[in-house]
Amino acid sequence: MLHQVVDGRAMLIPPAGDEVIVLNPTGSAVWDALSEGGDVETLTLTLQGAHPAVAADAIRNDVTTFLAELEGAGLVVGE
């Protein structure tokens, strides 16, 4: 899998290489945190620090959904 960050947005090419996935700034922040070995709780805390007005439960649900989408695209492997 290939990835590159351009203008703060991560661009990912899945193993099949048939598409380019461009992440929004929040998705890019999650992607960056994953490289440091972040789990759902760590990612939630990181995003909550950047978006304190958003409830932790909402962030946790969004992170969980996003990670499932990345796993479905073959970009990450679930634990």
Q: How far apart are CA 65 and CA 26, in angstroms?
A: 13
* φ/ψ of residue 17, rounded to 5: 65, 25
Cβ neighbourhood burial of 78 (10 Å; 0-12, 13-18, 19+):
exposed
- What pLDDT, in 10s, does the model give residues 6-57? 888 888 887 777 788 888 888 888 888 887 777 899 999 988 998 999 999 9
Domain ranges of the chain: 23-74
Cβ atoms within 10 Å, residue 34? 16
Q: What is the pTM of this model?
A: 0.79
Strand-by-strand arrangement of the 9-13 sheet: 2-6, 9-13, 21-22
- What pLDDT, in 10s, does the model give residues 46-59? 889 989 999 999 99
pLDDT reported for residue 79: 64
